[in-house]
Structure 1
Amino acid sequence: MFASETPTGQPPTTVIPPAGPAAESPVSRKRIVAVGAAAAVLLAGAGAAAWAYAGDVPRGTRILGVDLGGKSRSEAERALTEAIGPRTGDPVAVDLDGEKFSIEAADLALRLDVDLSVGRAIKGRPRLTGERTVPPVIELDEARLEEALRARLDPARITLKKPGIVFAGLTPKPTYPATGRNLDVAAAATAVRRAWLAGGTATVTLVSRPPATSREQVDALVADLATPAVAAPVTVTVGDKSLTLSPRAIARGLVFRADDNGLLTPAIDGGKLHAAAAREFAAVEREPEQATITVAGGRPKILAGTPGDMVDLARLGPALLAVLPDPAPRTVAAVLSRQEGATTEDDLAELGVKEKVSTFTTYFTGGSRSPRSQNIMTVARAVDGAVVRPGATFSLNGHTGERNYAAGYRDAPVIVGGRLEPGVGGGASQFTTTLFNAAYYAGLEDVEHKPHSFYFSRYPAVIESTIFYPTLDLKFRNTTPYGILIDTSYTSRSVTVSMWSTKVYDSVRTVRSPRRTITSPPTVYREPGPKCITSSGLPGFTQDAWRVIRKDGKEVAREKFTWRYDPEPRFICGAKP
């Protein structure tokens, strides 16, 4: 120790000198190196972890080839949307059991769910090396996919046999199912999800599958439902009234429907049930009256309909189905629902029926009391007020049904086997010709018509039509964007058909060629009797006619019609001299 000088009166201070250098041991040096290396490793690991864990999406994560690693959720969603969004309108390529085609994404409601896809990517563990592919979340409507695939499938390729139960009178007849090739919709949906946006093809194969309903289950439906269902009537109460459904009506209304996978389900077909018991339902119902269009004061006028009170078949069906397995007596309660007519005022107002666009008149003899004239008037009344909607096809046979005695038609001359004979509904062809010409000059599309085999001077040559239920019909299609009202009228010597709508064409006219290949009528002697009708005979000929349609000052259509008329024989009722 060294003593130092201190001020007088203060204690001395002792200073301890530093130790001198000592020899460094090898063990200490190794520890220092190890600690330094460990620190470096820890620092490097911390840096790597920080890199791997940066952002919400772990490094090395890809969806549909888009690198989302290290991005925040919003950045990842934006990156995926920008990269894949332009392709989400692309169709998906499909190979259906060897048939290749494509389906539009919109038809299947295909959609990339970006939010769920990125959420799935976030859940992964981080990687320091390598890549991780995350499948996207793609939504689609499987029902629409099945519909699209089955529309392209040849039904013969589906060998799965569906079950069924139908009634023969009051006896249920089962059809038993069998295993066969069918569409696996779930597998098809998986294939479509994988292929779409990835640029691949969804391969869909038919697989062998058993039907969803077994033979034993079909037998159970017969024993537990179908058989007891028709064992007794069912009483339906409607307020303070009631009606009885007979076993035959129940057999008509009880149906068993099998879907494409062979699942057999019982149901009540309300329409069939109502038709089978129409008289019984009518006792408790009030039918709605449809809104109609009529012509009054030279212009079309819409007449309002009135609502009706009808049994609510949608509610009756499940209630009836529930009691059909029960023994008699069986009763269910039904309710009436207010129902508008199928055609309303607003519906008719949208059709644009506002002006006369064509009219045609033909003339007849015999006054208003002859059977032929009566037939013309009867069919005119049946068609009066008919409305043909845009795109719809009008069928005269379909509208009037069979023109028979029950419908008010009488016997009058008709052409049968190349000669005139009395037949029910004779004269209806004159109305047919009048209607055809009204449609023709309205510019409507000719779908079906056939001129007479003989020429009659009361009709315009070529542009005329006969009719015979059910083999010969008159059909025309409304190709305009407006509705067509058919207005008919008659006098004791004429029948007129007018078409009311919105005018589309400037004019419709007919240009005819001269008659050619004219042939003289032969003389035919027939046995006298009620079926023999005399005639003076007319020559046969061939002629062309062109319908010329103009719109906006230009010719827009020129349609050619050609017909060959046979000579009408000179029929004489009596023996040949």
Structure 2
Amino acid sequence: MPYDADKTRAMPPVNPGGTASEQTTKISPVNANASTDAWPSEEPDNEPTVTAAVPGVGFPAGEDATEFMQPVAPPQQQPEDSGVYGPVMIEPGEDEEQPRNGKKKALIVAAAVVGAFGLLYGLDILVSSGNVPRGVTVAGVDVGGMGHDEAEKKLRDEIGPRLSKPVALKAGDVTAELDPRTAGLELDWNATVDRAGSQPLSPITRVTSFFTSREVGVATKADDAKVGSALEAMRPKLDHEPTEGTIKFEGGNAVAVEPHNGQKLKAEEAVNVIVSNWASGNPVEVPMDFTPVKTTKEGVEQALNDIVKTAVSGPVKIKGEGKDANLTPEQIFNTLVFEPGDGGALNVKPNKDKLVEAALPQLKDTVREGKDAQIVFEGGKPTVKESVDGLDLDWDKNLQPYFDTLKKTDAREIKFEYKHTPAKVTTEQANKMGIKEVIGEFQTGGFAPASGVNIRVVAEKVNGAIVKPKETFSLNKYTGPRGTAQGYVEAGIIENGIPGKAVGGGISQFATTLYNAYYYAGMKDAGHKEHSYWITRYPKGREATVFMDGAGNSLIDIAFTNPDDTGVAIQTIWTPSSITIRLWGTKNYDVTGSTSGEFNPTQPQEKKINKEGCTPSNGAPGFSVTDTRTIKDRRTGQSRTESRTVRYDPQFKIICEPPPGG
């Protein structure tokens, strides 16, 4: 079997010009088995020509192989005593000699052809020795048959100018350019010419090289790490998240925004591809990982044409009770939301919040905010402030009819419906709650000015709150978030046993005052938490802290439950130096409290602080106390006691050190 010297692997016989059966020896027109009566004419003009195909040697399709073969004359009849076998009469039993003669002649012909072909083969090797093999291209430049020096010059002339230019990259739906110098890409000219290889020894390869070409590519000097770094620097431009198709309002019209798959650079594979193809002169397609989107271009176009264009084709009138609202096409568009649907579709829906935002400013005079009955304190006594039922647009009920109106090209107006919201605490209910006398009261003071601001804000919010029979009052739930938007400021807090600051600081003093007020009113404690260490202005074992995070989430709360059939109203009285809280209702309980002495003391530890604003302190020991509340029910004369043991941590001995850097 012949071998391709370029690829050093066995190559099968190739006969592009004929079938396998045609690669066997052909002798025409002699029939070795025929009798002498069937011998062909011996006239010179009719002498037959014998050709032979050489096993293992093929010729290109359409080529005539006779130029490699010599004509062979048919054997001439010889005298019987000449010693040469010819077409003589064969006696019975001698017909076995005829096939032998035919085979000998075929071998002679084949040997002649092989010899001629071998002569040509050797001549071709001799002539092309030291040259680049025929049909070889490098980066698209044909250098086949050239000497190495000539080939290198041609490559430098044709490829060299493109090597300093940016390499065009195609990364999914993004195009970019890579600076080969920044990426450390260079061409190795000698190795590039050497890659073409030496002359192939396979006769098949040498024959087919007249009709085919073979690309060997360039040899690159590259540092993969440097190429990778250059690609990583380009990643923000090459990578992007998937973008669903949608619709936007631009220039007074709704226009489609085509979807785009997300893509992310496959860095390791990209390095190999760029090193192999950067000098080709063609854009290099960079491998990417793709994240498909749900919508299609066709789905977006259908939503635009079927719904949105009609929706924004003109204004819409919303008729309210006594006043109307007119929405422009842009306002209408802003009330729509777009979501991916099944099969690449883009679903279009109305958005209630956006509709309220667009229409309510024009209809605000037609709505009325509901208010519960409140207890106001005038002349030192509680008075009921009447409740107000709310009147508001029924946005949930109006949403779908509004969307149906947008699908019309004419009669684009709609009558909105309203809903009435009764007060949770009506004037009648408040008058029947028996809120007539003080049932519990407590006062604290000694707060800092910033804390005083926060205490005043929360006191104004809570003043007049009504706790209905069997209802639970939660301070955090009632006030909601306590941030700068609500008027609170940064003030002192205790964080991990160390003084600190936060917006809303000081509210714990209000919580402690509220706890003691409902403690003496006989209310049921529904949850509270003491400070981690005792603050001297609060009674031991009878104080509370509260905390909400920046998002307004309740983390530590204080709450109490009204156990009676009568209502309770909360009155707050604030001054720059004190906060007083009174609970009004029907006094059903007499309450006393007592606190044990301190026990289980623990000594403080030192803590060094190097922050600005540090205040040194000698600290204080920790201890435990037990508080006992005695409640006597006026209606039954029965008494009960409740005890609670509280453990206070020792206060750190604070040592202030200079902040870093002086």
**Normalised by the size of structure 2, how large is the TM-score?**
0.46
Distance 2:488 2:310 in 1: 40
Q: Verify: 1:352 aligned to 2:434, yes or no.
A: yes
Change (3 A) 1:278 1:514: farther
Indicate the residue corresponding to 1:323 in structure 2.
Answer: 405
Deviations along 1:162-181, whole A, 9 cap, x unmatched?
xxxxxx9999xxxxxxxxxx
Q: For 1:514, what is the secondary structure of its paired residue?
A: coil
Q: Which amino acid aligns with 2:523?
A: L
Which of 408, 431, 437 aligns to 2:516? It is 437
Q: For 2:547, what is the secondary structure of its paired residue?
A: coil
Distance 1:492 1:345 in 2: 33
Distance 1:273 1:352 in 2: 44
Q: Which amino acid aligns with 2:436?
A: K
Q: For 2:469, what is the secondary structure of its paired residue?
A: coil
Indicate the residue corresponding to 1:241 in structure 2.
Answer: 324
Query: How far 1:525 sits from its partner (Å)?
Result: 2.2
Q: For 1:461, what is the secondary structure of its paired residue?
A: coil
Distance 1:230 1:560 in 2: 72
Q: How many residues align?
A: 343
Identity over aligned pairs, percent = 32
Query: How far 1:573 sits from its partner (Å)?
Result: 2.1
Q: Verify: 1:476 aligned to 2:543, yes or no.
A: no
Distance 2:519 2:307 in 1: 56
Query: How far 1:482 sits from its partner (Å)?
Result: 1.4
Structure-to-structure mapping, 1:283-432, within 5 angstroms: 284-306=366-388, 310-311=392-393, 316=398, 319-320=401-402, 322-323=404-405, 326=408, 330-334=412-416, 341-366=423-448, 370-432=449-511
Structure-to-structure mapping, 1:29-178, within 5 angstroms: none
Change (3 A) 1:302 1:230: farther
Change (3 A) 1:334 1:414: same
CA contact 1:170–1:251 (8 Å) conserved in 2: no
Which of 451, 456, 465 aligns to 2:535? It is 456
Q: Which amino acid aligns with 2:435?
A: V
CA contact 2:324–2:362 (8 Å) conserved in 1: no
Q: Which amino acid aligns with 1:549?
A: I
Deviations along 1:85-111, whole A, 9 cap, x unmatched?
xxxxxxxxxxxxxxxxxxxxxxxxxxx
Indicate the residue corresponding to 1:447 in structure 2.
Answer: 526
Q: Which amino acid aligns with 2:501?
A: P
CA contact 2:493–2:505 (8 Å) conserved in 1: yes
CA contact 1:228–1:327 (8 Å) conserved in 2: no
Distance 2:492 2:573 in 1: 22
Distance 1:316 1:440 in 2: 49
Which of 592, 602, 605 aligns to 1:509? It is 592
CA contact 1:412–1:425 (8 Å) conserved in 2: yes
Q: Verify: 1:499 aligned to 2:583, yes or no.
A: yes
Q: Verify: 1:538 aligned to 2:648, yes or no.
A: no
Q: Verify: 1:547 aligned to 2:547, yes or no.
A: no
Q: For 1:548, what is the secondary structure of its paired residue?
A: strand
Q: Which amino acid aligns with 2:521?
A: A
Is the radius of gyration larger for structure 1 or structure 2? 2
Query: How far 1:436 sits from its partner (Å)?
Result: 1.2
Query: How far 1:302 sits from its partner (Å)?
Result: 0.8
Deviations along 1:111-160, whole A, 9 cap, x unmatched?
xxxxxxxxxxxxxxxxxxxxxxxxxxxxxxxxxxxxxxxxxxxxxxxxxx
Distance 1:568 1:490 in 2: 30
Deviations along 1:296-355, whole A, 9 cap, x unmatched?
222211122456654355874674365365468842123667766443211211222111
CA contact 1:549–1:556 (8 Å) conserved in 2: yes
Deviations along 1:358-398, whole A, 9 cap, x unmatched?
011111244xxx21111111111111111111122211111
Q: Which amino acid aligns with 1:363?
A: G
Change (3 A) 1:516 1:308: closer
Runs of 5+ unmatched residues, structure 2: 1-244, 249-301, 339-348, 549-553
Q: Which amino acid aligns with 2:443?
A: T
Q: For 2:513, what is the secondary structure of its paired residue?
A: helix
Q: For 1:448, what is the secondary structure of its paired residue?
A: coil
Q: Which amino acid aligns with 1:442?
A: A
Q: For 2:654, what is the secondary structure of its paired residue?
A: strand
**Normalised by the size of structure 1, how large is the TM-score?**
0.52
Deviations along 1:519-556, whole A, 9 cap, x unmatched?
232232211404x3444422210111122111146444
CA contact 2:335–2:351 (8 Å) conserved in 1: no
Which of 487, 492, 501 aligns to 2:571? It is 487
Change (3 A) 1:420 1:463: same
Distance 1:405 1:468 in 2: 15
